[in-house]
Amino acid sequence: MSAIIIFILFLVNIFTIFAVIILFLRQNRLMEAEMNHKESIAEIEEIMTAFIMEMKEENEELLKKLRKLKEPKQNAADHGGAPKISDTNSMEAPRAAEKQGSPDAAGTTEPLAVKVSRSRAVLAYKETALNEDNQTQSQHIFELYDKGMTAEEIAKSLNRGKTEIELLLKFRI
């Protein structure tokens, strides 16, 4: 009788050892997944920080260039240059023409709704063309990357930011 009890206790001990091993392996997998998650978050954060810094530098360069361009124009205006036409006046003229309606070749005026729908159609066409251009450009980037070019080489060949290319490749947008 005691041999049976010892045998049962031995089996229970083996079962508990296997259970502990399985739980230990699961815990290690969970810890690895957490570490991978933390690493990917840190990497994304680093990439985003680099991207933001690059954007700030580009914005500062743009502001400097705009200021340099503004200074000669202001100097020309101060020295008796042609008077500037304000943007509001240039925007009001087409709006006024749309409200009044322009006569066509037959001398009739088109309804305002037709003009508005035409302008919306033109805008939609332009947006579609821009979206297609962006898609083809990203596809071109992926093709170059698949050919073995690095993100830096792609950025130089397309005159775009290295970080921008890295983000595009990372997220496969």
pLDDT in tens, 138-166: 788 888 888 988 888 988 888 888 888 88
pLDDT confidence of residue 72: 77
Two tokens, residue 34 = 């957490």
Which distant-in-sequence residues (6+ apart) come within 8 Å of 34 by Cβ? none
Residues 164 and 120 in one domain: yes
Does some domain include residue 93? no
**pLDDT greater at residue 50 or residue 71:** 50
Inter-residue contact 170 to 141 (CB < 8 Å): no
Residues 3 and 76 in one domain: yes
pLDDT confidence of residue 151: 87
Domain ends where: 33, 67, 82? Answer: 82
Residues 129 and 75 in one domain: no
Domain ends where: 62, 82, 102? Answer: 82
Does some domain include residue 87? no
- pTM for the full model? 0.35
What are the pLDDT digits (tens) for 77-109?
A: 666 554 444 444 444 444 444 444 444 444 445
Does some domain include residue 50? yes
Does some domain include residue 89? no
Label residue 131 by pLDDT band (50, 70, 90): low
Residues 54 and 118 in one domain: no
**pLDDT greater at residue 76 or residue 13:** 13
How many domains are contained in the chain? 2
Does some domain include residue 78? yes
Per the prediction, the chain carries an average pLDDT of: 78
Residues 115 and 53 in one domain: no
pLDDT confidence of residue 106: 45
Residue indicated by tokens 């998650």: 37
Q: Range of 47's domain?
A: 1-82
Residues 71 and 125 in one domain: no
Distance in angstroms (rounded) separating the CA atoms of residues 51 and 164: 7
Residues 73 and 6 in one domain: yes
Residues 1 and 75 in one domain: yes
Residues 76 and 118 in one domain: no
Residues 134 and 170 in one domain: yes
pLDDT confidence of residue 98: 47
Alpha-helical regions (H) of 79-148: 87-100, 112-146
Residue indicated by tokens 């978050």: 41
Inter-residue contact 152 to 144 (CB < 8 Å): no
50 pLDDT higher than 50:
yes
